[in-house]
A and B are shown apart, each in its own frame.
Chain A
Amino acid sequence: MSIMLIMLIGGVALLGLLPVVIAMADLVRRPGEAFSALVDPVFWPRLGTSLLIVSLTLAFMLPLGLVMAWLLVRTNLPARRLGMMLIPFPLFLPPLVHVLSWFGVVPLSGIPAIVLVYVIAFTPFVVLLSARSMDQIGRAHAETVQLMGGRRAVLLDDLRHALPSATIGGVLALVFMVGDFAVADFLTSVGPKVTVYADTLYVHHQARRPGAAAATAVPGILLCLIPLIWALRRRRQLGATVDPRFEPAEPLALGGIRWALLLLIAIYLLIGTALPLISLSWQAGSWTTILEQARGASDRIVFTVLLGAAAATGMVLLALPLMLFAQRLRRPWWLDALIFLPLAVPPLILGVGLIRLWNRPLLDAIYLGPGVLLIALIGRYLAFAALPIGGSIERLDRSMLDAARLAGAGSVGRTAGITLPLIAGTVVSAWCISFCFTLRELDTLIMLRAGQRTLPFHLYSNVVFARREEVAALALILAGVTIAPLLLYLAIARRAIRFL
């Protein structure tokens, strides 16, 4: 293992792993408390409820996402390019914004409403990741399959090909669902209450039982990490590198039904993006309210954008060499685990770890300023830069790199001359995705002083207390700021973002 790789992994460990380890040390420090929490009869039913919600969500989300990806990538669906460009948008509106924006109008509650919100909010994970896999299906392969088994065989083969990627998408959604209690709490305000796994974590924190909080976090972390590592491994096994002579498969002709199928995509985009934005605009009332709120929060907007941009840049700069070096690893599962662990850890635990690690003499400049926020964001969301960049590097044609090596090009030359130009689009996509996710973060940043300067904090500190139109205007501004880089990317690149 090279010194560079050791340094990179050390950097990842410092940013993401160390705070987690420090916080999870409470497991060892208070073993009795940890054990009691795990045998508590209240805990497992709540985990069961969360699993039920997650399972139902995945049961709807995976087929819906796979079908949408298939329609958008492998068929002659009208406006499929535009559809693919618009599909990520619901993902970048936090679930609570979906809830606030249209559940006031639609009287849905209970588990069906929770599942519906999650399906709407997280299906783009599955679509984006599956689409990238389906993109790699070659013409010769597709024609052979069609010749042997007809159109049905093509569909099944395409789905089989995309399933590991779809699973990764499902697990990414799972990470956000398992750690969330706010959506369930809000959507069961009226009617039977649904308490979930994350409620137990919260109660342990509130009762000041750090050992119990750490112990109850473990099943959630394992629940996220194990399928994720399996899916990443499976995807590597299936994911062939792109042949330079690669010709994409011809889109399948859908016939007259294509307009009806387009309606499916249109309805999803309407519910997932247009309706929330229209609802928020309607609640905000007028442009004057939005402009007033933007003026009042201008410092926070600038701070949040700069913080998000710096964090996304940091993530890409770290992910790029890390993923290049990861190609040399025979068993990269431990690196996957290292990168994804901070994402799977409950945000309050990560916050505790960050305080314990960084609240020290001589580190005030980092701890009291935006430095610790950058560290928190890069550590937590590195996976969102590493996943697309790693995926693109894996698909590079090795023969080109081998030829360059034989011609005498060093590793820096090969990276600068071949790898970077080929994956540039993905790097920009990774930056956009990372930026968007940093703007969703609240629960960890709330524990850190500079986190108070962010726009999400401002929005959530006004929910309930401010007038409805002001909250709607702030939510709209946050949505606008979050998706602005994505819009810019789409306008310039004129193609969908790459997620894997």
Chain B
Amino acid sequence: MFVAPVRRLFPFTSGAGLAAASFAALLLTGCGGDAQEQVVLYSSLNEPTARPVIDRFEEKTGIRVIFQGDTERDKTVGLVQTLLEERHRPRADVFWNSETANTVRLQREGVLARLDPPPENAALIPEAYVDREGYWFGFAARARVLIVNTDLVDEADMPRSMWDLTEEKWRGRAALVRPVTGTTLTHMTALYELIGAEETDRFLQGVIDNECHLPPGNGRLAQLVGQGQIHFGFTDSSDFRLVKNEGYPVIAIYPDQDSIGTMLIPNTAAKIRGGPNPENARRLINFLLSEEAEEILAHHPRGHIPLKPDIDRPEPVLVPGDFEVMEVDFVRVGEQIATRLDQLDRRFR
């Protein structure tokens, strides 16, 4: 009797209306304000790796970190695309990248803000790992190592150089990640800068001619070497550590110690231009560059390499000085990476 007038007043009492009201409520979930201070962090690292550092920062400052991470499968493409698309209305404050090239590219696209003056914790970072203009700062690096299965390779035959991938005796037994993403792309682009196009092309053609395997990522490559499906290959020291921790018979060789040295690729922290929490962004970046953050990352199972001197670290984690480091101009590498990406994509078609 009175249902009809009630329904006129509250249209959502009908089935469809109720569904529509519930749907609208779901759409608007997250609408509520949050009085707590916060900072929005976009990171190419996966959350389990970044989490201990974030937890410590939150504990120390009381600032809540909203984390947007990445998966190995996506290889940072989605995250960088999001940052570029959000450029006109930025939603992130800080970009923590696990390498340098995409950071430099974002800087060139106008996505990053200059930190002037630089964060105080940037003072002890070696010059090579800091942007001269103050747009990004390196910390906690990874080395590009050769992971070798010790059950398959004798001590006397251990590969010592990147050129071993092109040696006839390793035909069909070595591996390099298809160099169109991540640290492998950065590594190959750096080679173009350091040893020149002719030599790098010769190396890459050697890799192809020698029937090297081309796994989709460094983590997968390290697993395949650990499982004995491949004898050795280039990977990141962090991926080597994970496989080593699982008990596989592997060792890491820091290649080319008598020539160009081993490439070291730092994590980078950068502030997003026009981000919603600029002050907290500076505080988070300053923390990421601190001795404490480098120590946490060095003790992480992935064993990041501290760039600052005298950081406490577990024994297997080597630091610059324990091995020869390749000299790399990361800005130049970042500038060249799109061109090299096309060349490498064509070469490894």
Contacts and interface: CB of A to CB of B under 8 A. Distances in A.
Contact of A452 (B16, B67, B302, B349): B67
Contacts of B48: 461-462, 465-466
A449 B66 contact: yes
Given A45-B349, A359-B91, A449 B68 contact: yes
Given A368-B91, A452-B69, A463-B73, A203 B341 contact: yes
B71 interface: yes
B91 A449 contact: yes
Interface stretch (A51-59, A185-193, A244-252): A185-193
B166 interface: no
A26 to B, nearest CB: 11
Contacts of A367: 91
B189 to A, nearest CB: 13
B346 A42 contact: yes
B109 interface: yes
Contacts of A361: 89
B348 A193 contact: yes
A270 to B, nearest CB: 25
A463 B84 CA distance: 26
Interface in B66-99: 66-75, 77-82, 84-86, 89, 91
Interface in A324-367: 348, 351-352, 355-356, 359-361, 364-367
Contacts of A462: 46, 48
Given A370-B29, A461-B47, A195 B70 contact: no
Contacts of A468: 246
Given A314-B23, A348-B77, A348-B78, A369 B349 contact: no
B30 A368 contact: yes
A338 B79 CA distance: 28
A465 B220 CA distance: 10
B216 interface: yes
B211 to A, nearest CB: 8
A156 interface: no
A446 B216 contact: no
B31 interface: yes
Contacts of B47: 452, 461
Max chain B Cβ within 10 angstroms of own Cβ: one of A351, A361, A369, A450: A369
Contacts of A460: 71-74
A374 B26 contact: yes
A23 to B, nearest CB: 9
A352 B105 contact: no
Contact of B223 (A195, A199, A464, A466): A464
Contact of B28 (A189, A203, A351, A371): A371
Contacts of B20: 317
Contacts of B85: 352, 355-356, 359
Interface in A435-455: 442-443, 446-450, 452
Nearest to A366: B27
Interface in B52-77: 66-75, 77
A202 B338 CA distance: 13
A370 B214 CA distance: 38
A42 B345 contact: yes
Contact of B16 (A186, A195, A202, A317): A317
A465 B242 contact: yes
A207 interface: yes
Contacts of A310: 22-23, 26
Interface string B216-232: 11011101100001100
Contacts of B152: none
B74 A464 contact: no
A306 B27 CA distance: 12
Contact of A465 (B46, B180, B214, B346): B46
B11 interface: no
B19 interface: yes
Interface residues of A, number: 61
A29 to B, nearest CB: 14
B183 to A, nearest CB: 14
Nearest to B227: A104
Interface string A373-388: 0110000000000000
Contacts of B84: 208
B146 to A, nearest CB: 18
Nearest to B220: A189
Contacts, number: 165
A420 B190 CA distance: 64
Contacts of B345: 42, 199, 203
Nearest to A349: B81
B82 A355 contact: yes
Contacts of A446: 70-71, 74, 78-79
Given A203-B341, A370-B29, A452 B73 contact: no
B36 to A, nearest CB: 15
A461 B79 CA distance: 13
A205 interface: yes
Nearest to B16: A317
Contacts of A463: 71-73
B72 A374 contact: no
B267 to A, nearest CB: 15
A185 B75 CA distance: 13
Contacts of B79: 446-447
A369 B33 CA distance: 12
Nearest to A205: B77
B342 interface: yes
Contact of A461 (B29, B70, B82, B302): B70
Given A452-B67, A461-B46, A465-B242, A193 B73 contact: no
Interface in B210-259: 213-217, 219-221, 223-224, 229-230, 239, 242, 246
A468 B248 CA distance: 13
A152 interface: no
A314 B223 CA distance: 42
Interface in A168-202: 182, 185-186, 188-191, 193, 195, 199, 202
Given A314-B23, A446-B71, A190 B230 contact: yes
B181 interface: yes
Contacts of B348: 193, 195
Contact of B349 (A42, A356, A370, A443): A42
A205 B81 contact: yes
A182 B72 CA distance: 11
Interface in B2-34: 16, 19-20, 22-23, 26-31
A351 B80 CA distance: 12
A174 to B, nearest CB: 21
Contacts of B91: 359, 367-368, 449
A101 interface: no
A475 B214 CA distance: 25
Contacts of B31: 364-365, 369
Contact of A443 (B74, B86, B181, B217): B74
B213 A190 contact: yes
Given A193-B348, A206-B180, A457 B29 contact: no
Closest 3 CB pairs of A and B: A369-B30, A464-B219, A365-B31
9 contacts: A191-B213, A207-B338, A355-B86, A359-B85, A443-B74, A461-B69, A464-B242, A465-B46, A465-B302
